[in-house]
């Protein structure tokens, strides 16, 4: 029983390879036959067919140009919008940094001023208390 199954598998494998080749050959022959029939049964002359091809080509070229121009215009608009957005963000950030810098400078100037006042006070001698003398009873 097993031997019969193996023989069927071998036959099936052989047919599978031939079936694929036959299918490809059938497609090629059918395509050639269809193309030949289309040329023989065409309702217009070759000149008319060429003119129609040129017209359709021109239409496709025009539509493609319009679509490309539209896409380019849209991209330019988006780039311009993004550029404006980025520029606005940068201006805002620059103003924020400038404000922070000014606050830091004011704080540093206050510290320097306080240190200068402390230094000045340290260098200025305190007046000595008046001693009681015979001439000055207070």
CA distances for 48 relative to 34, 54, 89, 110, angstroms: 21, 10, 61, 92
- SS3 of 22-67: the string is HHHHHHHHHHHHHHHHHHHCCCCCHHHHHHHHHHHHHHHHHHHHHH
pTM score: 0.40
pLDDT at 17 over 80: no
Dihedral sign (CA 109, 112, 118, 120): negative
Better-scored residue on pLDDT, 137 or 110: 110
Better-scored residue on pLDDT, 77 or 40: 77
Give the pLDDT confidence of 34-57 residue by residue, as tens digits.
777 776 677 777 788 778 778 888
Tokens representing 87 are: 């520029």
pLDDT band at 107 (very low <50, low <70, confident <90, very high): very high
- Give the whole-number percent of the chain exceeding pLDDT 70: 73
pLDDT band at 132 (very low <50, low <70, confident <90, very high): low
Tokens representing 118 are: 């402390």
């Amino acid at each position: 029983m097993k031997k019969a199954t193996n023989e069927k598998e071998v036959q099936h494998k052989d047919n599978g390879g031939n079936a694929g080749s036959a299918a490809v050959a059938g497609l090629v022959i059918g395509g050639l036959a269809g193309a030949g029939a289309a040329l023989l049964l065409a309702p217009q002359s070759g000149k008319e067919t060429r003119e129609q091809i040129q017209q359709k080509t021109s239409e496709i070229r025009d539509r493609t140009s319009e679509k490309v121009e539209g896409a380019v215009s849209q991209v330019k608009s988006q780039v311009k919008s993004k550029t404006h957005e980025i520029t606005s963000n940068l201006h805002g950030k620059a103003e924020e940094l400038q404000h922070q810098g000014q606050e830091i400078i004011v704080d540093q100037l206050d510290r320097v001023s306080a240190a200068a006042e402390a230094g000045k006070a340290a260098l200025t001698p305190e007046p000595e208390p008046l001693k009681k003398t015979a001439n000055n009873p207070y």
